[in-house]
Chains A and B, each alone.
Chain A
Amino acid sequence: MSDFTNNFWNLYIVVLTVLGVLGCAVLLYSQSKYKVAKHNGPVGTTGHVWDEDLTELNTPMPRWWMWMFYLTIVFGIAYLFLYPGLGSYAGKLGWNSAKEYKAELAKADSEYGPLFEKYRQQDLKAVAADPQAHAIGERLFLTYCAQCHGSDARGNKGFPNLTDKDWLHGGAPETIKQTIMNGRHGVMPAMGAALGSDKDIENVAHYVLSLSGSAASDPIKSVFGKSKFSACMACHGAGGVGNQAMGAPNLSDKTWLYGGSAETIMETIRKGRDNTMPAFGDFLGESKVHVLSAYVWSLSNETK
Chain B
Amino acid sequence: MPLRRYFQQNTSAYPLGVFRFAFGVVMAFGTLRFVYLGWIEDHYVNPVFHFKYWGFAWISPFSVEVLYLLHFIMAAAALGVALATGWLYRLSAVLLFLIFTYTELIDLTYYLNHYYFVSVISLLLCLIPAPPPPFKKEQQVPRWVIDMFKLQISIVYVYAGLAKINYDWLVLALPLKIWLPAHDQMPLIGAMFTWKITPYLFSWFGMLYDCTIPFWLMWRRTRPLAYLAVIVFHVLVGLLFQIGIFPLVMIGATLIFFDFEYTKKHYPSLPRTLTGFQGLLSQLRLAFLVLFFLFQLLFPWRYVLYKGDIFWTEEGYRYAWRVMLMEKAGTATFYVKDTKTGREGVVDNSEFLNPHQEKQMAMQPDMILQFAHFLAKHYAQEGVHAPQVRAEVYVTLNARPSRLLIDPNVDLTKERDGFAPKKWILHYED
The finding on whether chains A and B are genuine partners in a shared complex, rather than unrelated, reads no
What residues make up the interface of B, taking CB atoms closer than 8 Å to A?
none
